[in-house]
Amino acid sequence: MKFLSEGQEGPLAGGWFDFGTGNSAETVQVLAKLHEKNEKIRWTVVAPDGGSLMKELERLFGFSLSARWDFFAAPVTRDEFLLKAKQMFREADERLELQRRHLDEIRKERLAAISQLARGMGHELGNALLKITGRADLALLEQDVPKIREHLESLMSAAERAGLLVKNLQSFSKSGTEFKASSVSDLLDEVLRFVKPDLTARSIQVSREFGELPLINLDPRAMIQAFANIVLNSIQAMPNGGHLKIMGEVSQVGGRKLVLARIIDSGQGISPEILPRIFDFAFSTSGSGSGLGLSIAKQIIMSHGGEIEVRSQVGVGTEMIVSLPLA
């Protein structure tokens, strides 16, 4: 006789086999076939010597069955039979409830992440559009050519910032990359040009130290996106001004030759409680950010066989170290 309840995740309960005084070798063969057919089913086995049978099966299968199967020495009374049947279904109900709660938690976390992403994207795109329209209006009213140029440069920077947000979203579905020999120092200089209006607006001083960096095989557009996300995160950590230092060097670690890019800010720093989560999808401490920047940066860096390391001290600043393999 067997009790078996099927669910979306497979068998939830199990079955009952009473071999009475049957042949031990035949019993082992039957149970071996049951195990091969579906390892998830929980069986209750009644045999003349349940303990010896369990040891023989464990020897054949190479792992412990006692956590999933029950073995009883014959004979078993009717009351014991019914009690065991109730226990099997109760355990199945408990597993179903745990699965349901786990799925509910996953759904809640995903909804919260999507909600944060939507709020952050709306806020950041809204700011970019406001800057674009505001600077465009000022440029139309301005008569002085140098000031018109200044407004247009700020407008272009805001448009590029909005473009970066779109690229961050597209990165989740992007499948291909275009690798070519590129200079990391040139890519970092391009990022500094891109964020110049943000640096000026926050009175952030910049210093750069690049040694002789060899060309490296990478996707320049994707890596600019990664570096821009990291640098913008540093800028946001210095709302009242500060110092941004960008360094590039070649290093050798464990027999591997690496190009290291260090982005160091004198910002607020990251608390030890938050530090492990900063690369999580849609995680943001500002309440207004999309939470995509660092997550996308890490994804791009890892796709190049690289790594990103974070060192931070609250009240002192943060250093992000990107390491990319030369070969």
Same-domain status, 189 and 290: yes
pLDDT by position in tens, the chain (length 327): 444 444 444 444 455 555 554 556 676 677 677 666 666 666 676 666 656 666 776 776 665 565 566 666 667 677 777 777 777 778 777 878 888 888 888 777 666 666 666 666 666 677 777 778 887 888 888 888 888 888 787 777 777 777 776 776 666 555 556 889 999 999 999 899 888 888 988 999 999 998 788 999 998 888 988 998 899 899 989 999 999 999 999 998 877 899 999 999 999 999 999 999 888 876 777 655 556 788 888 988 998 999 999 999 999 999 999 999 986
The answer to whether residue 316 is domain-embedded is yes
Tokens of 100: 């349901």
The answer to whether residue 83 is domain-embedded is no
Total structural domains within the chain: 3
Q: Which residue is listed with tokens 């369990």?
A: 54
Same-domain status, 192 and 312: yes
Same-domain status, 321 and 193: yes
Q: Say how far apart CA 249 and CA 210 lie, in whole Å.
A: 6
Residue 303: in which H helix or E strand, if any? helix 293-303
Residue 310 CA, distance from chain mean position: 16
Same-domain status, 211 and 317: yes
Quote the DSSP letter at residue 285.
S
Residue 140 sits in which domain range?
113-170
Q: Say how far apart CA 221 and CA 217 lie, in whole Å.
A: 12
The answer to whether residue 175 is domain-embedded is no
The answer to whether residue 105 is domain-embedded is no
The answer to whether residue 56 is domain-embedded is yes
Same-domain status, 193 and 299: yes
pTM for this entry: 0.56
CATH number at residue 317: 3.30.565.10
The answer to whether residue 201 is domain-embedded is yes
CATH number at residue 133: 1.10.287
Q: What angle do CA 226, 232, 237 make, to 5 degrees?
A: 135
Are 248 and 259 spatial neighbours (Cβ–Cβ below 8 Å)?
yes
